[in-house]
Chains A and B, each alone.
Chain A
Amino acid sequence: MSQWMIIWRKELLELARSYKLLWLPLVFLLLGVSQPIVTYFLPDILANAGNFPQGTVIEMPKPQSGEVLAQTLQQYGMIGSLIVALGFMGAVSSERNSGAASMILVKPISRSAYLLAKWTAMLVLVWGSLTIGYLGAWYYTSLLIGEVDAIRAIQALLVFALWLSVIGTLMIAGSVWLRSGAAAAFSALGLAILLSLTASFLPSALAWSPGQLPGLASGFLLGSIPDAAGMIIIAGAVLTAAILYAAVWRMRRMELP
């Protein structure tokens, strides 16, 4: 078995022992399931909770099933990325600061294998959590609101998974470049927000920006796919690879306590 695989298995074991393997999927599932349920019951909730005068008639347009899933993805875009940040902001820096990394990296293993194992463990957890939560949302949406086009839903999921991979890779790179976990989380989330803000303010100038990824994912669900869809996906993949390369580059030259 390759060294990468050995480190990867240790990473997964660590994720399991620290319960990240449990609470990350749970949070995604909770977020995902609550979206269609709250949407479905919203008129009743409003009727019971609001201080409306008697006889008020609340009439809301029934949302499309695609809209509900797109809203779910929006939730994941905000709270989901916060959770990814929380889970991985110290991926490398905490081991480096404690000295645990020094003891491992003097073994005859390559530093890139060490980093790539952490990165793939992160991807597995993020993709797994996202998929579980999304499937939950999908199930309740089709139960309560209406059928969803399966191809579109899967396309949206894959595109959104790429967006979360960009954020997760930024997190791992941040934890390589910066010694403090909080600083890594702050910079990675800051960059992610910057990407998506610039993309939404300058939609034509930055039509190919990876910041368009969340919008593209919603687009698949809402039936409004931009022309540059392919380029956005390629840009997202290239950005992920570039961030990962920067992290490996730094990792190779890193001085350890």
Chain B
Amino acid sequence: MSALLRAEQLTKAFGSTQAVAGISFDIAPGRCTALLGPNGAGKTTTIRMLAGLLQPTGGKLSYAGVKPGQSPNSLLGYLPQAPSFYGWMTGREYAVYAARLCGLSAAEARSQADALLERVGLSAAANRAISGYSGGMKQRLGLAQALVHRPKLLILDEPVSALDPLGRHEVLMLLRELKQETTVLFSTHVLHDAEQLCDDVLIIRNGEMALQGSIEEIKNNHRMSVITLHIEGDDHSKQWCVSYQGGAYVKELRRIEKGIELVVTDMELARRELLGQLAEDGIRVAKLEFGHSTLEDLFMKVVSG
């Protein structure tokens, strides 16, 4: 098996609600994968099943090198959405405790904990009680404790969602480094983060897999040419927009507040014809953009459609 983790028809029902309804995917070693979806899509439920905190009600999870029925915990590093520590411990104590639980000797645990705290930028606060940590510091300590045993797969649930822009930037920079060293799976509803960091995406909606693949592949397959036209607010131009019917090249026509948006099949033809038309009719153009659909457009389409 080449996949580090393979989920087949993974299902979780709470009573009569299907939180996750039979999703299948592979996590390849060395890749960084984003689990995307709107709130309530089943991201956290999926991640909790992968981490072994929830029992799937159906389907199969297999980890490379782990026999069925065996615990995969030694392969995994896990950081929940809102990590909760023992507030009475100091950051260093917690990191050492986590390392000892993973089977490191006392000396190894201390050096590994110190190295990781240094790396996540918590050295100065290492001897303070965790109860006094800020959200960003807790998130970074969470990363450190997830990494103590050099896990093969790092599973992060919404690692940056609750952070302010600065904290978010710091954690994203850390993740960028980490993905060089290990396989990372993280959930997010922020598309921008996924686009910046990941190789692969899994988009789920209502507990079902809506789209999966590598970012490049998805972008190429679903890339559409989009023309955005904004006009100034004069009556003539407004009138033109309302009556505009498009040409043979227009696949989709959307009227937006400031003008129109076109999805076109042939960009070159569209460019020539539209520019000519605009000039001919004397339209007051405020902004005219010939571009491509973003991942966000695709995401919106997939999750709402």
Contacts and interface: CB of A to CB of B under 8 A. Distances in A.
Q: Do A and B bind each other?
A: yes
A14 B88 contact: yes
A100 interface: yes
Contacts of A107: 73, 98, 101-102, 149
A227 interface: no
Interface in A158-209: none
Q: Which 6 A-B pairs have the closest CB atoms?
A: A99-B84, A108-B74, A108-B73, A256-B53, A106-B78, A107-B101
A5 to B, nearest CB: 10
13 contacts: A99-B83, A100-B84, A102-B84, A103-B78, A106-B52, A107-B101, A108-B71, A109-B73, A253-B55, A255-B53, A255-B55, A256-B53, A256-B54
Given A102-B80, A109-B73, 8 more contacts: A10-B97, A14-B88, A102-B51, A106-B53, A107-B73, A107-B102, A107-B149, A255-B55
B53 A6 contact: no
Interface string B66-89: 000001011010101011111010
Contacts of A104: 101
A100 B55 contact: no
Interface in A87-112: 98-100, 102-109
A14 B86 contact: yes
B129 to A, nearest CB: 9
Contacts of A102: 51, 53, 80, 84
B112 interface: no
Contact of A103 (B54, B55, B145): B145
A100 B86 contact: yes
B100 interface: yes
Interface of A: 1, 3, 6-7, 10, 14, 17-18, 98-100, 102-109, 253, 255-257
Contacts, number: 63
B153 to A, nearest CB: 11
Nearest to B12: A255
Interface in B95-135: 97-98, 100-103, 106
Nearest to B53: A256
B42 to A, nearest CB: 15
Nearest to B44: A257
Given A108-B71, A255-B55, A103 B101 contact: no
A23 to B, nearest CB: 16
A228 B78 CA distance: 53
A257 B71 CA distance: 18
B83 A108 contact: no
A3 B83 contact: no
B53 A105 contact: yes
B101 A109 contact: yes
Given A7-B101, A14-B88, A106 B83 contact: no
Contacts of B142: 103
A103 B102 contact: no
B88 A17 contact: yes
Contacts of A253: 55
A255 B48 CA distance: 9
